[in-house]
Amino acid sequence: MDTLLQQLINGIVQGSIYALVALGYTMVYGIMGLINFAHGEVVMIGAMVAISALGALMALGLPMGLAAPLALAAAMLVCMGLGAGLERIAYRPLRNAPRLTPLITAIGMSIILQNLAMMIWSRNYLTFPSLIEKVSFEVAGAHFSNVQALIVVLAGLSMAGLLLLVYRTRLGMAMRATSQNLAVARLMGVDVDRVIAAAFIIGSAMGALAGFMVGAYYEIAHYQMGFMLGLKAFTAAVLGGIGNLAGAMLGGLLLGIIEALGAGYIGDLTGGFLGSHYQDIFAFVVLIGVLMFRPSGLLGEKTGERA
């Protein structure tokens, strides 16, 4: 019984990270119908920049309490620039191209970013310095650490911030209008270019935060870490209903929990035939299952194509 609670806790922590990344996918998809394949790479670069910044700041003798927020800020800034650049250079010129075109571009950008990161940060696993003294709590036989708690709280806060932005500001209104109907929004005077750029920038900032968290949580980073993470986060977005903000959050949490429970119990379920190294397949099974039975996702609306 204690494993159940333990896996739930682990799942929620991992799930909040998925949710953060999923928001990046879902915003861009909601507004312009593009799967930004390179988003996982943005997350990875967030983690990498954070490592470099932490190293530099600590070498300057800054205390961790100061270095960590600064490094996070640096990662977010770099990623926001990266997101804006991606949108401006790679995707904007293709806005009227057939569907496959931007998708292939996105794959190309993902490869480029991965290899650039490998050249800059080497192909080795990098250790992410531990940011705070780890304290572990125990509840009903399950353990959770202050790092885990911090991740969940930070993720929750930033998601709340995003919701405020989207539902309480002019920019948010423009974003919602654009995601309903881009052409009409433009006719009504919405600066669509700006809205799309904003979606990329905000998504990338949240991606950087997620990258930072992954690094801090697992204390490790690698130039290929963005790929799987991105794929799973996308799955989370689809699970919740792509294009839907609340859906991305729900989908992220659910996927995290499904994965954690699945990894915990797969051995029992298959009589020991499959072990926990099959953890990664859950996301895909979920993805295929959702697409089969409820392609619009949990919170998404069914939309018909207009003839």
- Chain residues in the site for other proteins (CB under 8 A): 35, 90, 93-94, 97-105, 107-112, 114-116, 118-119, 227-228, 231, 234-235, 238, 272-275, 277-278, 280-281, 283-284, 287-288, 291-292, 295, 304-305, 307
* Residues in contact with 280: Cβ distance below 8 Å, sequence separation at least 6, in sequence order: 228
Give min distance, CB of 13 to ligand ADP, in A: 41
Give min distance, CB of 296 to ligand ADP, in A: 15
Residue 61 in contact with ligand ADP, rule: CB under 6 A: no
Among the listed residues 20, 22, 23, 78, the one whose alpha carbon sits nearest the alpha carbon of residue 50: 78
Neighbours of 232 (CB within 10 A): 26
Whether the Cβ atoms of residue 297 and residue 239 lie closer than 8 Å to each other: yes
Residue 170 or 306 having the CB closest to ligand ADP: 306
Residue 148 or 179 having the CB closest to ligand ADP: 179
Whether the Cβ atoms of residue 136 and residue 145 lie closer than 8 Å to each other: yes
Task: Quote the Cα angle for 292-293-298, to 5°.
Answer: 120
Residue 306 in contact with ligand ADP, rule: CB under 6 A: yes
Q: Which of ligand ADP, other proteins, none interacts with 148 (beta carbon under 5 to 8 A by kind)?
A: none
For residue 228, give Cα distances in angstroms to 88, 254, 256.
25, 17, 13
Give min distance, CB of 149 to other proteins, in A: 31
Give min distance, CB of 184 to ligand ADP, in A: 12
Give min distance, CB of 248 to other proteins, in A: 15
In angstroms, the CA 116 to CA 131 distance is 27
Task: Quote the Cα angle for 36-38-41, to 5°.
Answer: 145
Beta strands in the chain, from DSSP E residues, in sequence order: 126-127, 136-139, 142-145, 220-221
DSSP state letter for 88: I
Candidate residues 63, 271, 272, 304; the one interacting with ligand ADP per rule CB under 6 A: 304
Strand partners, 145: 136
Q: Which of other proteins, ligand ADP, none interacts with 157 (beta carbon under 5 to 8 A by kind)?
A: none
Find the largest Cα–Cα distance for the chain: 64
Sign of the C-alpha dihedral, residues 143, 55, 200, 116? negative
Q: Which of ligand ADP, other proteins, none interacts with 288 (beta carbon under 5 to 8 A by kind)?
A: other proteins
Q: How remote is the C-alpha of 100 from its chain's centroid?
A: 23
Binding residues with ligand ADP: total (CB under 6 A): 2
Give min distance, CB of 305 to ligand ADP, in A: 8
Give min distance, CB of 28 to other proteins, in A: 12
Give min distance, CB of 280 to other proteins, in A: 6
Residue 109 or 155 having the CB closest to other proteins: 109
Q: Which of ligand ADP, other proteins, none interacts with 81 (beta carbon under 5 to 8 A by kind)?
A: none
Residue 114 or 178 having the CB closest to other proteins: 114
For residue 215, give Cα distances in angstroms to 51, 52, 113, 300.
8, 12, 18, 31
Residue whose pair of structure tokens reads 């989370």 in the numeric block: 236
The residue at minimum Cβ distance from ligand ADP is 306
Q: Rule CB under 6 A: which of 87-146 touch ligand ADP?
A: none
Residue 65 or 304 having the CB closest to ligand ADP: 304
Contact residues: ligand ADP, CB under 6 A: 304, 306
